[in-house]
């Protein structure tokens, strides 16, 4: 049997840090208000000149270095992003060129905050098919570009960043199971309902969200999809060493862990320092926990995400 295994992780955060106090100087909010509702105390914001691919390049190079691989050894590139550099070409193709890689397939996945889990599951299937021996999977976002900075209900939640992993074919299971879902009938609870039309913008270019609806939906589906992935391996929540949820807000994270019966000591939480970085949030948290030594080889990590679409998914991986 051919399996895929994560052999390297990497990340990149913009230099600029925006604290809750910084936001309180420009809108009607406060550090106490933001922390109580989200758990967020700061986020990284990209410079106006920085794009998703600008963040994806150093994250990818870190992951490749950790894997002991040269860029030329990559034969599949998947970038999960809702904030691509251009309408086209894809951010994956731009990343491919900047890494000096030629010829391998490269494409973007748009599943918003679930994008990295979608990308990981797709790359796993490509490698298991036997047609590819390695894959670079990246979540990269500059969500600051699609925020209305006068709207405290959304602007305080998000940040920018990129996280990456390298997958390689292996005889031992790495990505043990995955489960992906979507339900477009809930598209209106989290969306950016605009598009480019004849040189202008049709609709709104800003993120809009029904926070209560998103919370209720997220807690319900994250519990279910995590259990679905475990059932594929005949495992239970007791077999999980670490849980890395999408870093939306601490209330969703805590409620999900409680429903799964997973102790807070097994949670990897970065939302306090990164905010919600959409498709980048899970790989950023994974890289941090690998590099600080919390996640060790042989441990099982459950990755779960939910995002606009509405999309949701889980991947159970053994490091």
The single residue of 12, 20, 113, 132 carrying the catalytic annotation is 113
Q: Does the predicted model carry a pTM greater than 0.95?
A: yes
Query: Whose structure tokens read 């976002």?
Result: 141
Q: What stretches in the chain show pLDDT beneath 50?
A: none
The single residue of 12, 20, 44, 246 carrying the catalytic annotation is 246
pLDDT at 91: 99
Helix 281-291 / helix 115-128 crossing angle, nearest 10 deg: 70
Q: What is the pLDDT of residues 55-75, one digit of tens each?
A: 999 999 999 999 999 999 999
pLDDT at 169: 98
Q: Which of 160, 126, 147, 125 is nearest to 52 (CA)?
A: 160
pLDDT at 7: 98
Enumerate domains of the chain plus CATH numbers: 3-171 (3.40.47.10), 176-318 (3.40.47.10)
Angle at 7 between CA 312 and CA 250, to 5 degrees: 40
HSE-up of residue 277 (Cα within 13 Å, Cβ side):
35
Q: Which of 52, 283, 245 is nearest to 167 (CA)?
A: 283
Check if 113 is active-site: yes
């Amino acid at each position: 049997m051919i399996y895929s295994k994560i052999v390297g992780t990497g990340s990149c955060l913009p230099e600029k840090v925006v604290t809750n106090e910084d936001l309180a100087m420009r809108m009607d909010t406060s550090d106490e208000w933001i922390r109580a509702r989200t758990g967020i105390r700061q986020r990284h914001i990209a410079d106006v000149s920085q794009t998703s691919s600008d963040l994806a390049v150093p994250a990818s190079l870190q992951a490749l270095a950790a894997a002991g691989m040269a860029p030329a050894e990559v034969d599949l590139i998947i970038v999960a992003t809702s904030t691509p550099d251009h309408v086209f070409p894809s951010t994956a193709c731009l990343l491919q060129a900047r890494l000096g890689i030629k010829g391998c397939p490269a494409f973007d996945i748009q599943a918003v905050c679930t994008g990295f889990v979608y990308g990981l599951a797709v790359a796993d299937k490509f490698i298991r098919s036997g047609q590819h021996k390695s894959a670079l999977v990246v979540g990269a976002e500059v969500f600051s570009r699609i925020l209305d900075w006068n709207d405290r209900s959304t602007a305080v939640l998000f940040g920018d960043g990129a996280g990456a992993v390298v997958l390689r074919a292996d005889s031992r299971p790495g990505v043990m199971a995955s489960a992906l879902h979507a339900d477009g009938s809930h598209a209106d609870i989290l969306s950016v309902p605009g598009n480019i039309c004849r040189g202008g913008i049709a609709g709104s270019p800003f993120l809009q969200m029904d926070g209560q609806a998103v919370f209720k939906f997220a807690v319900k589906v994250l519990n279910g999809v995590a259990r679905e992935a475990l059932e594929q391996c005949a495992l239970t929540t007791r077999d999980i060493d670490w849980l890395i949820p999408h870093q939306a807000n601490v209330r969703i994270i805590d409620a999900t862990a409680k429903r799964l019966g997973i102790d807070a000591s097994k949670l990897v939480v970065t939302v306090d320092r990164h905010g919600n970085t959409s498709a980048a949030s899970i790989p950023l948290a994974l890289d941090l926990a690998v590099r600080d030594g919390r996640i060790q080889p042989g441990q099982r990590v459950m990755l779960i995400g939910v995002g606009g679409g509405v999309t949701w998914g889980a991947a159970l991986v053994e490091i």
